Chain A
Amino acid sequence: MTSDNTLVPDAGTRAAGASDAAGSEKMVLNRDATPWYVYAAVIGFGVAAPFLFPAYATQIALLWLMILFALTWDICGGQMGYNSLGNIFFFGAGMYISAVVQIGLFTNVRAYTSARGGEQLVLDHGDYFFSLVIGTGAAAVGCVIFAVVLGRIVFGLRGPYFAIGTLGLALAARELAGTWEWIGGGSGIAMPVYPGQPDQKSLVFYILFLVLAALTFLFLRWLYSTRFGLAANAIRDDEEKAEAMGIHTMRHKLVAWSVAAFFLGMSGALFGNLTGFVEPLEVAFPAATFGIFMVVMALLGGKGTLWGPVIGATLFHIVKEVTWTYLLGWQWVALGLLIVVNVVFFQEGIMGWLQRKWPERFGISVDERMSAGTVSRETNP
């Protein structure tokens, strides 16, 4: 341990270090030190993938969705320390909002759903994409409203109670959607039919998921560079202290959840249109699969970091696809094993491990004297 001798006034210290403070330009927090070639590689892969592996376009589109899941979960779960198990609620809510809006634009929703899939909504190109844009926008706005209203209730809960409370929210929404006949109940809603070839459809949705995930990433990259990022970290480290210092904690918590809801709602709207059929248990509110995956992916990659969720989601998605192909029948066992190993032995995740191993690469300072175990008084002549 170092001694407390920094209490001894030492006039020389600031003058000595003043040179790096002298260039007093505007301060940038959490400067993104990612090398350009990482971005180039990701963009290159994103653009080339559907042409290189046309058969896997939908799988890779789901990879972008997984990255979006992990990124949005990490806003509250990683950066702010509020582990939500119910973020899947926004995915499903966005999906249902877009379904109702898209169908409601052209026909009576009650008559459509009571036909139980007997009716199909066939639109031309212009109408289809118009309804898709309106539906996705409505999903985003609707989910933000949900986040603000419900957030006021659940953010009164802390720690495990928050996790259980949000999980309850997702499960309640799932039950509600299953019994609400106007939106199709348990038998679900068929989405408008894509006016074109299946190949073209998977390419279009590939692009949409890629763009949405990229927007999510860029938005969060900016968001974490503002005061918001510091406040979220402060709430994570000690919320009571943050309150005692006058930080508007509820405001920050609601914004964090709203941002997650905004992007998740849009991803749900796109996913509903991609599958073409919305039903509560497996598609809209898959709390036990997607709902858990988003937590696991963020933990695997390293929560509370920008790239961690991206890396975690990529790795997880690859492992999942490989086990589904080659270990069929054992795929859940393999996935469960990965989760157990991650949570028990590797809690810091990949980025956390990298940052601990090479802190200076990430702009983290380590007290040399502390690690060397020597106590020196630098003010001594």
Chain B
Amino acid sequence: MTPATPSAMIEVRDVSKSFGGVQANHAISLNVPEGKITGLIGPNGSGKTTLFNSIVGYHPIDGGSIKFEGREISSLRVPQIARLGLLRTFQQTRIYSKMDCVRNMLISVPHRNAGFADMFKGYSAEQKDKAEHLLEFVGLYQKRYLTSGDLSFGQQKLLEFAMALMNEPKVLLLDEPTAGINPTLINGLIDRLKRANEEFGITLLVIEHNMRVIMNLAEHIYCLAHGEMLAEGDPDEIQNDQRVIDAYLGAH
């Protein structure tokens, strides 16, 4: 196991989680270095989303430790962790479907230091400008006043991504960002994820099933199987790792 470097944004150590008799995660450890794109792959049911949920505080973990910027967060709740700057998107896209895109964006402003009185403030012109700028970034500018629930699934996914950027997170956990998106448009999304990483300096941890996408995107990849860490390495190592190939082809 690689020793924790000081620049690790997320440091997961020996995290276990079981649901009844099902051991979804067993002694998982991983590091997400600052400013990098890290990938998380594994066959269906290997515990990727469970690990995501553990990191963002969706459920308590059975054992181990999760640190964010050196601070233990395994006992914090979802909104508290989100306010620290660790944000996730959902596999099943979640947006505020009865509100238009601009409102979806505005309500996603960072709530990091939101005091009681901030509830009753309005939005500044800069914030609206930023919302429109990010909507343009994902290509939804012309649809900004449409009710978001009327957008296509792919567009909703883009909106959710833009909302996450609006929140100015330090780390963004993306759960299958390209699932359900037209294959010919995936390149555009990869490009945007890379730009978010480079231009906005957001550290990314990405769950992905599409091997072409993840090999293109991530600098370091972790592979889970049956709730355990199977392998880690750079894309080339992972692609040529016999254990990974076996796991995906069902040799276990």
Contacts and interface: CB of A to CB of B under 8 A. Distances in A.
Pairing of A with B? yes
Interface of A: 1-10, 13-14, 17, 21, 24-29, 223, 225-228, 230-231, 233-234, 236-238, 240-249, 251-252, 255, 364-367, 370, 378
A123 B171 CA distance: 67
A230 B107 contact: yes
Contacts of B82: 243-246
Contact of A24 (B125, B155, B185): B125
Given A24-B128, A27-B124, A9 B100 contact: no
A227 B120 contact: yes
B188 interface: yes
Contact of A226 (B99, B120, B163): B120
A234 B119 contact: no
A-B pairs, top 5 by smallest CB distance, nearest first, are A246-B82, A365-B145, A4-B154, A237-B96, A24-B125
Contacts of B123: 26-27, 29, 227
Given A13-B141, A243-B78, A227 B96 contact: no
Contacts of B145: 364-365
A225 B98 CA distance: 17
Contacts of B150: 367, 370
A370 B142 CA distance: 13
21 contacts: A3-B152, A6-B138, A7-B188, A13-B141, A17-B142, A24-B128, A25-B125, A27-B123, A27-B124, A27-B127, A234-B99, A237-B98, A241-B96, A245-B82, A246-B112, A247-B107, A248-B119, A255-B119, A364-B100, A364-B145, A367-B143
Nearest to B145: A365
* Listed residue (B96, B112, B150) with the most chain A CB atoms within 10 angstroms of its CB: B96
Interface in B80-111: 82-83, 87-88, 90, 94-100, 103, 106-108, 110-111
B228 interface: no
Contacts of A252: 119
B140 interface: yes
B49 interface: no
Contacts, number: 165
A230 B95 CA distance: 13
Contacts of A242: 96, 107
Interface residues of B, number: 61
Nearest to A4: B154
Contacts of A5: 185
Contacts of B90: 241, 244
Interface string B107-150: 11011101010111111111111001100101111110111001
B70 interface: no
B137 to A, nearest CB: 9
A227 B152 contact: no
B189 interface: yes
B247 interface: no
A17 B102 CA distance: 14
A4, A9, A21, A237: residue with the most chain B Cβ atoms closer than 10 Å? A4
Contact of A237 (B99, B124, B143): B99
Contacts of B154: 4, 7
A8 B167 contact: no
A226 B121 CA distance: 5
A24 B126 CA distance: 8
Interface string B30-53: 000000000000000000000000
A79 to B, nearest CB: 11
Contacts of A251: 116, 119
Contacts of A14: 132-133, 136, 141
Contacts of B223: none
Contacts of A378: 142
B99 A233 contact: yes
Given A21-B132, A28-B122, A367-B143, A227 B94 contact: no
Nearest to B166: A245
Given A13-B141, A227-B106, A365-B147, 13 more contacts: A3-B152, A4-B185, A27-B106, A27-B128, A29-B123, A227-B118, A230-B106, A230-B107, A231-B107, A233-B99, A238-B97, A244-B90, A246-B83
B42 to A, nearest CB: 22
Greatest chain B CB density within 10 A among A1, A6, A25, A370 is at: A6
A351 B186 CA distance: 41
